[in-house]
Structure 1
Amino acid sequence: MTLAETVSDKTSILLSVHGLTVSYAAHAVLCDVSFEVARGDLVVVLGPNGAGKTTLLRTIAKVVSPKVGTVLLDGHDIAKLPVRQLMKTLSVVPQSEGSVFSFTVQDIVAMGRTPHLSPLAPLSQKDWQIVREAMEATDVWELRDRLFTELSGGEQRRVLIAKALAQEPQLLLLDEPTANLDLHYQLEVVELIQRLNRERGITVLAVLHDLNLAAMMGRRFILMHRGRIYAVGNADEVLTPQNIQQVYGVPVVVTRHPLNGKPIILLAERRIPSLRGVKVHVVCGGGTGGEVMAMLTAAGCQVTAGALNRGDSDFEAAQLLGVSVVEEQPFMPISREAFERTKEMIANAEVVVLTDVPFGWGNIVNLRAILEAAKGLVVVFNPETIAERDFVNGEASTLLQQIFATKQVVSVHSLSELQRLLVNL
């Protein structure tokens, strides 16, 4: 899948990266990276420190030469383009400008016209008009006579974007445009980038660390891990709990912003030592399984759950945590099909956790699924209260007794007991 998968007209592809591999000494920083960006798109590159994000931008900007692979900008191989010609199509906004001495804001922005000028030639009236338009578009015209070094971090970032605009680029590369800014300036920069993309049609490829800002700003996403592309696509395809937990190594919950519906990534507490890879199936319902699933996913377990009715609070918790769940229609008894899928998940699990869920005629088959399919350890919460939770004329109590008689069962009464049990597996 490519970022431009839905674009059938190849003339709509502005940037094509093919098989890019970059090494520093013997260390590969980028490995076989390939993707395409359509004209007018706004793409955010994500990944932990050392994933290769900045190196990718530097390679596209011809600052770093790849060991293998090509970068095509508007159909032209950048390796064959003179830097001055490349900078007429592409501009880069770094995290900082470095040493700028005592240049005014207008001086800094005017430097963006350099690719369009002959050596030592002064700016023409047209050039100065372009500089002014770039400054007005970024709301820094009123700062034109101020020294760059006297500005706040957010103001400096807007000046650097204005300088990039003065190049009249088709593609804007931004390396951490919101780094080291407070919330006010972060939002200001994000909205500026979106407006330039929307109103001027400038294609944007930006590196960001903050996943929530990225979700707010981008339309397409590239998630990198150890120099490779791990996932690519829209927010729902890339910003999943599974992808984030695998790449960043931390437990997260992905929910939705109540106003715009975009993903919000929340860190979950890492409660127990890593149990990465342990397969656990959770039989729960009615709010009895949310904390259990959160703890297990935080520990890195491969968690499955069900069967659960859509709309059940534990079903919603499983969705937020990225847990694979056998689902049933709301308010409907568990079907034969869902029962068989639940048995498959249980049979594949090393541990089955049965919470203190009430049992009625709709979900009693979950107990039968454990009895028929469980092969490993079965952990049962509060088995002595089963009679209080049995609303099927004693059938739940009978099935639980059979599970105790035929399976390897351990009783627990709290999350902390479950934690200690799993740590000692």
Structure 2
Amino acid sequence: MTDADSIGESDDASDGDAATEPTGSVADRLESRLAETLERRGAVAFVHVGFPRDPGLRYCQVVLEERSDQSAAEREQPLTAVAFDGDTREWFTATAADASTHPARALASQLADRVAAGTVLTPARLPHDAALYLEEAGFEPASTDVLERARAAKTTAERERIAAAQTAAGAGIRRGAALLADATIEDGHLVADGDAVTPSRLRTAIDEGIVAAGAFPAGNTVVNPDSGHAPSSRDATVAAGSVGGADAADEPLRPAEPIVLETAPRGPGGYHGGLVRTLVVDGDGGRERRAHVGATQSFRSAAAMLTADSESVTAVEADLEAEVRAFGFEDPDAVATRVGGVGLEPRERPLAGGDEIEPGSVVRLESAVRVEGDRWLRIADLLVKGDEGERATYLASPSRSLEPRALLEE
């Protein structure tokens, strides 16, 4: 079979055991899960092929960095193939720099010289040509999601990288808050330093703050996202039908209306942050104040819930929603909550449904409340589910206040 999107059969429901795996390093975590899964599936090796920004490949390269087996130049090759032999716990790599042929073909040849022909486990979306080269060498590809499962819980070093990216996210949001704090009102619009404050201008300010803090915006900064989180503040890339139309990025913002700032920068180590704040300039209270109280209370409840036990994504989303609705938001469409893991991607496992938020996970929690029409109040923060016996805690971030100046006074 060479269909890269449906390689072989998978028993991924039983891949890995979070309760018994080592937690000291990415290498320990991944190699333990790979070896266990290879043995259970009767496979001879694990193989992945991709480009440097592929999060699965990047995770494998973190292992190679820890093992000091790969140079910085090799990590930047446009296409890389890696393999893990579960019996010897050895890694093999092939890149465009050290192979005169396709890296996947070179890697398949290396494997054929070291292990017997048989099943090799790969991510489901292995490139089509890579699957063909493996079959050509006598191997039978079969899919597994062991890589994604291993990435769900984070080591101490990974959490530190995420925390650094979250610090940069906070710096960006504060830069945006500073612009709003200095804004005055002219003809019903917000103006700062003589120019209108627009979503595009706010996005630029946030991104400048992120860069100054040593991280990369990575195209993830959004001002006033629509209900599907489409990037409505990006001028030329605004999707047809997004809130406000194609010119929304340059429309002056108004006082007394919620302004949502969302960002998920990537740190130098490749790990992301995730932060959303809603600010109101010259607000008059009312519904957005009640929505704000409900949203902030939901974060306290979720932290207590995840301190007490491991829970599924669905259970935490339901808890967030219940806390918000307790403040009188009964309309079925008035509240939206979203929970998902953060790491080498802005959203990764635990991601949906029954995915468990296990000890060591870093998750992005968001509560959103419809204020009026298409205007929402949104807040999101990153929470670390502690190891056994530890409290679940939020990573440091700016105030959740609706007042722009409050974010600058910490």
TM-score under structure 1 normalisation? 0.30
Larger radius of gyration: 1
